[in-house]
Amino acid sequence: MRSGEKKKLTLDVITWPPEDLPFTATQAATGWHAATICQRLAAGAVGPGVVEVENAVGEERLNAFRDRGFEVIESWEGVEG
């Protein structure tokens, strides 16, 4: 954080069954992270080793999810210590 204050970001991602695809909401919601990581790996945007999904997905991907109809709610809170 620029201010030096520690913050915790929680993302709530909400989706509904896509009207244009034969998937349930669960299928649509669980497939996004694998597809996103595969795209980023292919583009060379993820370094070697283990990377948590929450650390490998940036703001541009969150906007892509929003564009596909996912509701993304950001909640920030201060962190002690």
Q: How many CB atoms lie within 10 A of CB 15?
A: 19
pLDDT at 22: 92
Q: With respect to residue 34, please indicate whether it lies within any of the assigned structural domains.
A: yes
Please, are residues 37 and 56 in contact by the beta-carbon 8 Å criterion?
A: yes
CB contact burial 29-57 (16+ within 10 A = b; e otherwise): beebeeebbeebeeeeebeeeeeeeeebb
pLDDT at 75: 92
State percent of the chain over pLDDT 90.
4
**Residue 69 domain boundaries:** 7-78
Give the mean model confidence (pLDDT) for residues 70-75. Answer: 89
Q: With respect to residue 1, please indicate whether it lies within any of the assigned structural domains.
A: no
pLDDT at 56: 67
The confidence band for 54, taking pLDDT boundaries of 50, 70 and 90, is low
| pLDDT higher than 80, residue 26 | yes
Q: How many CB atoms lie within 10 A of CB 5?
A: 8
Q: With respect to residue 2, please indicate whether it lies within any of the assigned structural domains.
A: no
User: pTM higher than 0.95, yes or no?
Assistant: no
